[in-house]
Structures are given as structure tokens and as C-alpha cells.
Structure 1
Amino acid sequence: MAGENKARTSRAPRLDYAHVALASLPFMGMISFWQVFDGIVPKMLTGTFGLDNMTTGAVMAIDNVFGLVLLPLFGILSDRCASRLGRRTPFILIGSVIAAFSVPLIAVANGMRSLPLLIFAILLTLFAICMYRTMTVAIVCDITPRPLRTKADSIQKMVGYAGTGAMLVAIAVMVPSGDMPNYIPLFMLQALVILGSAVVYAIRVREPQLVQKMHDESLKMGIEESEIMVDDSPEAGGRAKITDRSVLFSIAMLLAATFFYYMSYNAMTTNISRYADMFYNMEGGSYAIINIVTIVGALSGYVPLANLSLKVGRKRVAVASALVMALAPVALWLIPGFSPVFYLAFLAIGIALGGVDMCVYTMLLEVVDANSVGRYSGYYYTVSMAAQVATPILSGIVMDVAPGLLFAYIALMGIFMLFAIAAARHGDTVLIDEVARRESASA
């Protein structure tokens, strides 16, 4: 495959941190929105409109249903886009503009107590987010040579979650107490974050030039982005054909690993508040300390694990991280009660979450042609959405029948994920040390 060719370069590649960070801004605007949507919209539905929990849950699940259909569709459409702005940029800019209009409309509808307007605003917002969600990650891969994609992904995650943290602070500061708080300032701020991120991106990021630069850098390393046979006929729609069964099997395993990753991770985030109340005597919002420790672990691990993957390969880092995600929940399951030592387990889980998240996605894109990045990014998010639809139901059954088995369920999903990653034969890239060694030999 392209990423497994021998390097023929005059210098080791270096990551363009500035352009990666700038290209990550739409991702920041998009991902920060979910903190506001998931945290505030349920309060609107139950507090303002008096909907029951089941109906509220159904409304909140629309985003997953939209994602199952729209994310791969827009990913494929972006692969086929021939705009002078590039393949991803038109979707990013149009989706951001629509979202910047529709996000405040959600708060306006709540203030007007108009449920039809609220539902319309939610649907329009989710459509807009789906229009460019896949593109926010595909663009970073498009402009980054394959050996450096894991490191670029770590930078994107840090930029994205910086925006997420800022919006969490905004929620704490800007949402007043009371039965009918005014959410318009908060939603206006979120719209400005989305729009501002898109404006800076439009001004500073020139997708075609950066993609060409990536191709030039890749060719210097002996990495040819168009090795996979491509049928450019109108009938095939330019679809890249992968005929190697081993590669197809690896793609299936990496998508399966993604599915079980979200089955495991989402089961914890969905149920940890109730589990902590039952078994750790953490009442009220004190369970949030567990979430904070987990997020701190993920953020602290992104860059070190990305650098490690350049030395030992993505698969080894992903397998080691998956092993932690399989074993740490077993300890939490088997040891009764709560001890502060448990925070070390949650910290380790957070680091491992970051390791799997970075490596599996970049392994998937390593085995596909540059013309298919949007398509397979869409598939990646589709299986993640499917898992986030399934695991709240399955883990909810566990919590109803035998809540003490929650971490056993999480561990089981981690084991499935571990086996899937281990079974994938493709996805590693040329290691930086090997690039430098070959450079020295050729010199």
C-alpha cells in the first residue's frame, strides 16, 4: 500500500503545525457544539415544553439517526467535489454558515415556547453539522503526509477539546438559575465560535495548495497517493476500488474496532453518574470528577502517544491502548467499593482512549487512496454513530438487570476491540526512524 512503500527522501518530514491547527478550527467549532446541545436541549424539552424523558430521549437520538445516513453521504460527495476551493472547504463553509444561523434559533424557539420552531431549528442544525462534520477531520488528513497523520490528529484533538472546555466554562458562567433561563446569549456565543472558526479557516487555509504540498512531500518519501486502482468513469463515479482481500479484511477489522471502541466508551459516559451514585456513594454532580480525570488522561496522552507511534508504529500503540481499555475495567469491576486509587484507573482509561482514537482512524485512512478519504471518514463516523445508538440500550439493560456488571460489559467491548485491532494487517506507515536511516544510507 501507499503508506508501506520504501522512503526515498532527502530529509525527514516535519509536521506543519500552524496549518494543521488552522485546519482544525472547524472541528473545534463543530465538536464544542455538542456540549451545548447535549447539555441544554434536554433541559429545554423537559423544562420548557414538559416532554417526558422517553420523548426527550427520542428527540436527542435524532442526531445519531441523521449521522447514520448523512455522514457517509456527504463524505462521498466531498470526495467527488471538484470546486476550485477544494473538496472539503465548500462543505465546511456552507455547513458552518447554516449552523451559525440555526443554532441561535434553537434558543429563540425555546424563549418563544414554540415546539414546532424548536424541532425545525434542531433538525436544520443537525443537518448542517452533518454536512461538514466528516470534512473537519478529512481535511487534516488531506494536507498531512501519511507518516505524520497520527501526530496531526493529536494536534486536532487538542484544538478541538480546547474549544469544548471553553464552552463548558461558558455554560457554567452564562446559564442562570431558574425555571426559564435565557439561553440566547450562550447559543449566540456558540454560533460565533462556529462562524468565527470558519472565517479564520477560509482566510488562512488554502486547501488545494496545501493538498498539493502534501503530495509533493509524499512523493519525496516515495509515497504515491494513487496506487490503488481508480475507476474514473462516470458510471463508477470515480470510486476507488480496493481489490486486495487482505486490505478489505483490515478495513473491516478497523471499522469493527471503531464500533467496539464507542460501545465501550459510550457505555461509561452514559451510565457513570448512576453507577457512581450506586457503588461509589458519589451524590449530585461529584461523579463529574471521574469524567474530568478521564478527559485529562486523554489530553495528556495525545502528543506522547502520537510521537510513540512514529517510533514503534500505530498498531502497537493501538493494541497496547486497547489492552488497557480491556483490563482496567476488569479491575474496577472486581474490586468492590471505591478508593482514590481508582482515579489512576480512570486516568489510564483516558490515556488509552486517546491512543485508540488517534491510531485506529489514521490506520483506516492509511490503507485507502487519497480520493477516498471523505468516504471512509464517513464510514468511520457511521459505525461510531451505530455504536452510540446501540450501547445506551444494551448497557441500560445491564444497569436495570445487574448494575454491578457495568464495567464487565465495558471490559467485554474492550476485548472485542482489542481482537479487531490485532487482526488488522494493514495501517502502519513508514516509521520516522526508518525514513531517517534510509536518508542517511542514500546520502
Structure 2
Amino acid sequence: MKKTWLLGFGFFSISIGWSLYNGFVPFYLNNYIASTALIGFLMTIDNYIALFLQPYIGNRSDRTQTRFGRRMPYLLIGIPIAALFFALIPFHTSLVTLIIFMVCMNLSMAIFRSPTIALMPDITPESKRTNANGVINFMGGCGAILAFSVGSLLYNIEEYLPFLAVSVIFLLALWVIFKNIKESRDALSYAIISPPKINYKSELNTPTVYLLAAIFFWFMAIQGMEALFTLYGVNELGLSKSASAFSLAFFSLSFVLSAIPCGLLGAKYGKKKVILIGIIGLVFVFLLLNWTDSVFALRAILLVGGMFWACININAYPFIVSTGSEHSFGTRTGLYYLVSSLAAIISPPTLGLLIDYFGFEILFFAAAGSMLFALACMLKVDVATGTLSKNT
């Protein structure tokens, strides 16, 4: 568990980076672009990159052998480059330079994201993975809270300050992980020198396909909501930019407080049951948000929503990993992020287009509908759970 907490610093840096990116980069784009749909499209650049690069990197890291380990070389290359271009984003001088910095930052993030997450099952026995995922997501949630709360305060002082702060956090997280986690010592299956080349066809068994479909639909809801929420707060509720971004901190706060308990619940009662509770709960949360016009009620409902999102997110990744072998952790991590990236590619521009035609009130109706599709897919998992352990 000590190693898991230390590894959590990697997830902390990833989460604080994406949260700040999703919260404030739309405002930079809005300085040049009037269309919400086009802004939503440009906010998916990272997901286009991740769609093709992360599955490859995840699979490649399964078969990498260096004196630093399988996963660590990707962190050592990707994190410093990501820190550099993240710091440059607020210093753009035009739409072209902004997009260049965004693309370079996202390319470097894609290099180390899958290997960082794959380190968790590498060093954690299967029976402890939901608990461990709760811990690293707790750290990630702390990162999101800092991004939306402290980041908002820094943004009000100088727009570049939160970006510089996150770049420093990237480098500190790399130092903590590199100094404390040695794959040759800590990875459970590190003694296997040449794991077999992964067969994607065999990895995509029926339980995995249903799970990936469910993951796609709940990320359609969450990614679209997070990417466009700050614009929703400003345009629909009349909030300031910082107040709108700060409201998302309540969602993240609840997620943080619920992360470890949801991991424990998943280990005790089964991952699928806890995920289903989270999906049903978020359907009602999104519907309630659509009829909320006060800041107090908005933030109270977001608090509840973060709890249900933790039920889903904490148990989903261990669920996917449990349907494959120990030699395919990186590959399955890549598949997980491929599907979530595909959802993030489709969701913001699609919701942005709907908003352009119907107004911001359509945002949460669409999110609730996507969650209902996720519910239908998760209920189908029962049909093909024969190869899953009883604890899934």
C-alpha cells in the first residue's frame, strides 16, 4: 500500500493536468473561436492522439525491457516534455501557437499515461486492485480539487500561474515515482523476461467487449460534461469564469472522499454491483442539474454526483484488467484509454453542436441519456461472466 500511495503521485499529476486543461483552455480558444462545437472539437485533440498512440504505447510497454524497467522509460521521456509544453500554453500568441502547444503537450502526455496506470496492477495482487485503484484515484481527485480551487485563485492573479505550477508538479511527481518504485524489485511478474506478443483478438473476449461499450458511454457523459461545464456555468447560470471552474471542485471533492470507500465496496460486494449503483445515481444527478439555477444547489448536486462517479471509475479499471492475463496489463490499459479517448473525441463536439442548436440546457439531458446506454451494456455483462472471478 505504501508503493500504491507513492504511485498515486503519478496519477495526481495526470489528473491535475487534465483538470486544469479542461477547465481553462476553453477560455483561450473562446478568444479566437465563437462556435461551441468547434471549441469542443479542438478540446478533443488529446483524444485523437490517445486513440492511436496509447494502445500502442501500452502494448509496447508490456514488451519493453530496460535497466529502468518496462514502464519507467516512458515516464522519464514523456513527463518532462509534457511539463515544458503545459507551461507554454498560456504564453501563446495566436490560435496557431496555442494549437501547436496543445498538440505537443498532448503527444507527450500520451507517451506516459498508459505505462503510469499499468504500474498499479504490476505491483498489486488482483485481490487488492480495487483498493489500490481507490487510493490512486483519491490522489487523482486531490489533483482535480487543486486544479479547480487553487488553480482558479492563481488564474485570477495571473493566467499563466496555474500552468507553471502544474508543470512543477509534473516534475516532482516523476522524481517521487522514480526514487521510490523500482520495477525489478516491486513488480509481481517482472521475472518474466519476454512476455508473448499480445493477440488483440483474444483479448477482446465477450465480457471485455461489453465492459468497453459501457466505458465508452459513461465517458461520453462525463467527458462532455467536464469539457463544456465551465462554458455552461458562464453562459447559462451567469457565473464568472473562476466561479464556474470552482464549482467542478465540488464534484472532484466528493470523488476524492468516496474513492477509497468505493474501492472497498467493490472488493467486498463486487465491482459490477457498485458500478451499476453509480450509473443509476448519475442518471438522476444529471437530470436534477438541468433544473438547477442556484449556485448552492448546483454545487450540492455535484457533491452527490462525485460520489456516484467514484462508484463507477474506481471499479472500472480493475474490472477490465481482471478479464485478461497478467501479461496484458499494459495492453488492457491501452484499450481502456482507447475507448475513453474515443468517447472524449465524439462527446464534446457532439454536445457542442447540440448546444449550438438547442442551447446549454440540452447538456445534462444528453449526459443522462448516455448513462442509460452504459447501464444497458453493464446489464449485458451478466450474459458472459463465465470467465470472470466471483469478485467482479
TM-score range, shorter chain: 0.7 to 0.9
Q: Is the 8 A contact 1:24 1:137 kept in 2?
A: no
Distance change >3 Å, CA 271–CA 373, structure 1 → 2: same
Aligned to 1:205: 181
Aligned to 1:371: 327
TM-score (norm 1): 0.76
Structure 2 CA distance, aligned partners of 1:46 and 1:337?
Answer: 24
Distance change >3 Å, CA 429–CA 297, structure 1 → 2: farther
Distance change >3 Å, CA 301–CA 330, structure 1 → 2: same
**Equivalent residues in 2 for 1:239-250 (5 A)?**
239-240=198-199, 243=202, 248-250=205-207
Aligned to 1:135: 115
Of structures 1 and 2, the larger Rg is shown by 1
Q: Offset of 1:260 from its aligned partner?
A: 0.6
Aligned to 1:73: 56
- 24, 46, 52: which one pairs with 2:33? 52
- 6, 13, 16: which one pairs with 1:32? 16
Aligned to 2:5: 21
Aligned to 1:253: 210
**Equivalent residues in 2 for 1:402-421 (5 A)?**
404-421=361-378
Q: Is the 8 A contact 2:23 2:230 kept in 1?
A: no
Structure 1 CA distance, aligned partners of 2:307 and 2:65?
Answer: 39
Distance change >3 Å, CA 313–CA 428, structure 1 → 2: farther
Aligned to 1:166: 146
Q: Offset of 1:200 from its aligned partner?
A: 1.6
Q: Is the 8 A contact 2:271 2:391 kept in 1?
A: no
Distance change >3 Å, CA 392–CA 205, structure 1 → 2: same
Aligned to 2:77: 94
Q: What RMSD in Å do the two structures reach over aligned CA positions?
A: 3.4
CA deviation map 1:8-51 (0-9, x unaligned): xxxxxxxxx2100112222222222224434444555565xxx3
Q: Is the 8 A contact 1:75 1:135 kept in 2?
A: yes
1:325 partnered with 2:325: no
Distance change >3 Å, CA 215–CA 284, structure 1 → 2: same
Structure with more of its chain in helix, by fraction: 2
Q: Offset of 1:252 from its aligned partner?
A: 0.8
Distance change >3 Å, CA 104–CA 408, structure 1 → 2: closer
Structure 2 CA distance, aligned partners of 1:160 and 1:260?
Answer: 22
Distance change >3 Å, CA 422–CA 63, structure 1 → 2: same
Aligned to 1:441: none
Q: Offset of 1:139 from its aligned partner?
A: 0.7
1:381 partnered with 2:337: yes
Aligned to 1:195: 171
Q: Is the 8 A contact 2:142 2:252 kept in 1?
A: no
1:297 partnered with 2:278: no
User: Alignment partner of 2:166: what SS?
Assistant: helix
Structure 2 residues without counterparts, runs of 5 or longer: none
Residue identity (%): 23
Q: Offset of 1:342 from its aligned partner?
A: 6.5
Structure 1 CA distance, aligned partners of 2:9 and 2:295?
Answer: 39
Q: Offset of 1:330 from its aligned partner?
A: 4.0
- 119, 129, 142: which one pairs with 1:149? 129
Q: Offset of 1:271 from its aligned partner?
A: 4.5
User: Alignment partner of 1:24: what SS?
Assistant: helix
1:352 partnered with 2:311: no
Q: Offset of 1:141 from its aligned partner?
A: 1.6
Structure 1 CA distance, aligned partners of 2:340 and 2:282?
Answer: 17
Distance change >3 Å, CA 91–CA 276, structure 1 → 2: closer
Q: Is the 8 A contact 2:40 2:349 kept in 1?
A: no
Q: Which has the larger displacement, 311-320 or 51-60?
A: 51-60
Distance change >3 Å, CA 193–CA 336, structure 1 → 2: closer
Distance change >3 Å, CA 128–CA 142, structure 1 → 2: same
Q: Offset of 1:428 from its aligned partner?
A: 5.7
CA deviation map 1:81-105 (0-9, x unaligned): 1223221111011111222333334
Structure 2 CA distance, aligned partners of 1:398 and 1:405?
Answer: 7
Q: Offset of 1:63 from its aligned partner?
A: 1.5
2:226 maps to a residue whose letter is T
Structure 2 CA distance, aligned partners of 1:265 and 1:85?
Answer: 35
